[in-house]
């Protein structure tokens, strides 16, 4: 093209190299430059003599300055850089302005919107010599630094280098072309000083870096700095060009693939080789439903929704809602069930394989399976496994599923506060989902899985609903035949599902929900059971997980027993497993240090591995007023020491400590009243409590304690101090007391027996009403125990103090 407007400005530069052109007549002769000058601060970037650019300043406070400049003959003003990107704030102090600036001629000043814009034509470097006025309008006395003479050969080399850098920048950013044309209208390519300043002004360097160029008067040093800045700019421009090219390539590739894919779809539809997305969705849903055996009301709903799907546009929101609904509807296993394995011998083998101990629990589960075998199906019963943490409730649920040959699905309801988790959301909501039971059936792919609801005693409630109430329909065998999920809005039959729930305690489970479940209690383990579990299950699993062989790592039975008794006395085995894992980890460290030496851990090694024992062998509590009781907690059975003491004999009084709940406080008051009124019968001083201030304490005051099972224990402690005689040693008791001395039954007999055995207590006192509970316990739990059953407190007295009470001495 011959159009001059399209001519590359670089051609003009190349033509002028070597020619001796005078500067533009726009520049002023040095002798006519003013010595006094007004200055205006500029931010972001300093102004260079080679520039011609618009400058915008605030009308206030620079209007007066520009007015005075317009009244001068030369129309010159100094522009000095301020390292402050925000000049909208306070007016900068004079000390903030750089001493080196640029004298510019002001052209075409205009006011608009509180701003003044003018064209600044850079003329000459200036250096502020003296401040004549330090408040706007700033007035200064300036000098014009002169450049020292430089060698022409070096200047020409640097000039060519800068011109080459300008060419590269123009190739990557053609917008610089207009600036080059403005420069060539005023200077020639061989004007090295303006060329250096112009090269600096083309870069995007920081203002402080450009000010260093402006401060440098010697030309060669200035050109070195300019070349460095331009090299950085070239590198940035090169990287930007590469990024743009890469992005463009990706966009073009994706666009090309999109067009080809759309063309392929059209060609395939024309040839009958493929269908559109809507048809493909409909056929997939129909194929799924054809493999199922849904009831009639499900088939009708499916056909209605499928017809709606085929009418809707794919881009409409309703299409996505309907498609998701059909997706869920066709993934529910309507009529698909797995065949149960009714083999009681195999079921018992699986239970014995997975669990040691828990004989009564296994018998109860076998009875449940036997009932299902007799009638041909397992349904109509919801099992609730209750016990302390770590006793194997969840794993028993898995074993039941294995014994029946059913799919197993587990989810925790602990902390659940939204009833939609159970019954689903209405599908009108964005992000609506079915409830957990529909999801369980989808994942299990059969309509009769074993579904375990963990931590049902920790279910919550909030403004979003009450999930425990939502479970009532689900867990009621008479109602769950027509369970309604809000998302599907269809009746589902959950009666074939075997539900197994787990809980640590029954107190927090709502009574209507508890009535729908068949409770099976899992008590804690005694030392012998824990030892077998550690050898058969815990340690082999830990060795397999760590990749160790049995010959590489061995823990003696005596060491495991010491771990159980000295470090892990909790009812379950979770803490024991953590301690064994710690032994395995430390053993691996030894094996890595000495690979050829197997690790063998004895009792003497435990302190080095695990530190000092948390529980030491406790001596039997002795002394007057000291009695051991038995209590039940959510963590299992525990022994409970109770102490009574006479503080003084100045006045009658009774004090209770130990963070006792209302029920235990009531038991203490009853025990105090009963013993006080029957002291003569139990061979004590009848006036003892009339002149005694008595303190009854249950140690471990930081632990809350409550429950109706400590009455006879408290009465025995009070009677002991009244008689001045210690009760028989190594005796533990549990039972509630009435004002007439009747001993009432208690709960948690098994847990309390286990706690007594854990403390090596061999003589127990239980209520007569709990004799049947004791007789049902396994023989290994009863072995070596002397158990006394009490109907009246006189039976307790006879065991603890070795004689019978006086007859007819009661005040009642």
Whole-angstrom distance, CA of residue 151 vs CA of residue 140: 34
Contact 661, 706 (CB under 8 A): yes
Q: Which of 192, 399, 709, 720 is catalytic?
A: 709
Residue closest to 229 by CA, chosen among 53, 103, 45:
45
Q: Which residues contact 568 (CB under 8 A, 6 or more apart)?
A: 530, 575, 576, 579
Whole-angstrom distance, CA of residue 406 vs CA of residue 387: 24
Residue closest to 765 by CA, chosen among 805, 801, 738:
801
Written in H, E and C, the secondary structure of 230-255 is: HHHHHHHHHHHHHHHHHHHHHHHHHH
User: Phi/psi zone of residue 742: left (φ > 0), alpha (ψ -120 to 50 degrees), beta?
Assistant: beta
Task: Look at the chain and count its residues.
Answer: 812
The Cα-based distances of 812 to 561, 676, 689, 807 in angstroms read 51, 12, 18, 12
Contact 670, 793 (CB under 8 A): no
Is 709 among the residues known to form the active site? yes
Residue 19 exposed, middle or buried by CB count within 10 Å (0-12, 13-18, 19+): exposed
Q: Are strands 498-503 and 383-386 parallel, antiparallel or unpaired?
A: parallel
Q: Which residues contact 581 (CB under 8 A, 6 or more apart)?
A: 542
Q: How far, in whole angstroms, is CA 307 from its chain's centroid?
A: 43
Contact 575, 390 (CB under 8 A): yes
Residue 210 phi/psi, 5-degree rounding, is -70, -30
Residue closest to 756 by CA, chosen among 779, 778, 784:
784
The H or E element spanning position 673 is helix 662-677
Is 135 among the residues known to form the active site? no
Q: Which of 362, 496, 530, 752 is catalytic?
A: 752
The Cα-based distances of 328 to 214, 413, 491, 554, 741 in angstroms read 72, 23, 14, 52, 64
- In the numeric block, the tokens 């450049």 are attached to 147
Whole-angstrom distance, CA of residue 328 vs CA of residue 28: 85
Contact 640, 710 (CB under 8 A): yes
Outline where 312-388 has alpha helix (H): 317-329, 344-354, 359-375
Whole-angstrom distance, CA of residue 159 vs CA of residue 400: 90
Contact 106, 118 (CB under 8 A): yes
Q: Which residues contact 30 (CB under 8 A, 6 or more apart)?
A: 124, 144
Active site residues: 709, 752
């Amino acid at each position: 093209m011959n159009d001059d407007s399209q001519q590359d400005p670089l051609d003009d530069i190349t033509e002028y190299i070597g020619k001796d052109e005078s500067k533009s007549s726009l520049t002023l002769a040095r002798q006519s430059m003013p010595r006094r000058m007004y200055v205006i601060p500029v931010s972001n970037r300093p102004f260079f003599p080679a520039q011609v650019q618009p400058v915008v300043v605030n009308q206030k406070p620079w209007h007066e300055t520009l007015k005075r400049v317009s009244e001068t003959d030369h129309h010159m003003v100094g522009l000095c850089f301020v390292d402050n990107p925000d000049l909208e704030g306070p007016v900068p102090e004079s000390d903030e302005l750089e001493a080196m600036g640029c004298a510019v001629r002001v052209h075409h000043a205009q006011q608009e919107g509180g701003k003044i814009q003018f064209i600044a034509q850079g003329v000459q470097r200036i250096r502020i010599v003296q401040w004549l006025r330090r408040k706007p309008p700033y007035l200064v006395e300036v000098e014009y630094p002169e450049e020292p003479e430089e060698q022409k050969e070096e200047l020409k080399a640097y000039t060519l280098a800068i011109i080459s850098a300008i060419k590269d920048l123009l190739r990557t950013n053609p917008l610089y072309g207009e600036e080059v044309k403005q420069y060539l209208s005023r200077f020639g390519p061989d004007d090295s000083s303006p060329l250096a300043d112009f090269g600096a002004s083309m870069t995007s360097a920081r203002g402080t870096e450009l000010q260093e160029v402006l401060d440098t008067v010697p030309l060669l040093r200035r050109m070195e700095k300019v070349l460095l800045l331009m090299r950085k700019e070239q590198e940035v421009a090169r990287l930007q060009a590469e990024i743009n090219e890469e992005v463009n390539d990706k966009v073009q590739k994706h666009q090309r693939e999109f067009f080809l894919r759309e063309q392929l779809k059209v060609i395939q539809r024309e040839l009958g080789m493929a269908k559109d997305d809507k048809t493909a969705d409909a056929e997939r849903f129909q194929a799924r439903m054809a493999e199922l055996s849904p009831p009639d009301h499900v088939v009708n709903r499916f056909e209605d929704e499928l017809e709606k799907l085929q009418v809707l546009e794919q881009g409409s929101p309703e299409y996505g809602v309907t498609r998701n609904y059909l997706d869920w509807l066709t993934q529910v296993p309507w009529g698909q069930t797995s065949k149960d394995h009714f083999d009681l011998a195999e079921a018992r083998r699986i239970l014995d394989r997975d669990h040691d101990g828990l004989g009564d629990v296994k018998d109860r589960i076998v009875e449940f399976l036997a009932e299902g075998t007799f009638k041909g199906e397992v349904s109509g019963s919801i099992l609730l496994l209750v016990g302390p943490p770590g006793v194997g409730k969840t794993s028993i649920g898995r074993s039941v599923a294995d014994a029946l040959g059913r799919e197993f699905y587990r989810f925790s309801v602990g902390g659940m506060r939204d009833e939609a988790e159970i019954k689903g959301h209405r599908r009108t909501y964005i992000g609506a989902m079915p409830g957990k039971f529909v999801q369980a059936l989808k994942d299990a792919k059969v309509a009769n899985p074993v579904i375990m609801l963990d931590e049902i005693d920790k279910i919550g409630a909030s403004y979003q609903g009450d999930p425990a109430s939502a479970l009532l329909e689900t867990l009621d065998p008479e109602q769950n035949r027509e369970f309604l999920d809000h998302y599907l809005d269809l009746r589902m039959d959950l009666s074939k599902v075997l539900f197994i729930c787990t809980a640590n305690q029954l107190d927090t489970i709502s009574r209507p929900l508890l009535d729908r479940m068949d409770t099976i209690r899992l008590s804690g383990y005694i030392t012998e059971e824990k030892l077998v579990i550690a050898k058969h299950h815990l340690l082999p699993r830990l060795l397999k997980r760590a990749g160790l062989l049995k010959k590489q790592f061995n823990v003696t039975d005596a060491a495991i027993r010491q771990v159980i008794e000295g470090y892990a006395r909790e009812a379950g085995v979770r803490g024991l497993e953590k301690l064994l894992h710690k032994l395995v980890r430390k053993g691996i460290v030894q094996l890595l240090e000495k690979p050829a030496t197997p690790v063998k851990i004895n009792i003497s090694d435990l302190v080095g591995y695990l530190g000092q024992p948390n529980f030491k062998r406790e001596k039997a509590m002795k002394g007057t007023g000291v009695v051991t009781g038995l209590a039940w907690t959510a963590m299992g059975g525990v022994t409970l020491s109770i102490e009574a003491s006479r503080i003084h004999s100045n006045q009658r009084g009774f004090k209770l400590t130990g963070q006792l709940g209302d029920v235990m406080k009531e038991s203490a008051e009853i025990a105090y009243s009963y013993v006080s009124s029957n002291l003569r019968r139990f061979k004590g001083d009848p006036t003892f409590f009339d002149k005694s201030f008595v303190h009854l304490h249950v140690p471990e005051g930081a632990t809350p304690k409550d429950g109706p099972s400590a009455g006879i224990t408290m009465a025995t402690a009070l009677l002991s101090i009244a008689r001045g005689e210690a009760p028989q040693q190594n005796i533990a008791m549990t039972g509630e007391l009435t004002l007439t001395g009747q001993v009432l039954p208690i709960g948690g007999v098994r847990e309390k027996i286990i706690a007594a055995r854990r403390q090596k207590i061999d003589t127990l006192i239980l209520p007569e009403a709990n004799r049947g509970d004791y007789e049902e316990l396994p023989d290994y739990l009863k072995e070596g125990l002397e158990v006394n059953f009490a109907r009246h407190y006189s039976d307790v007295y006879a065991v603890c103090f070795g004689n019978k009470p006086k007859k007819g001495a009661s005040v009642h």
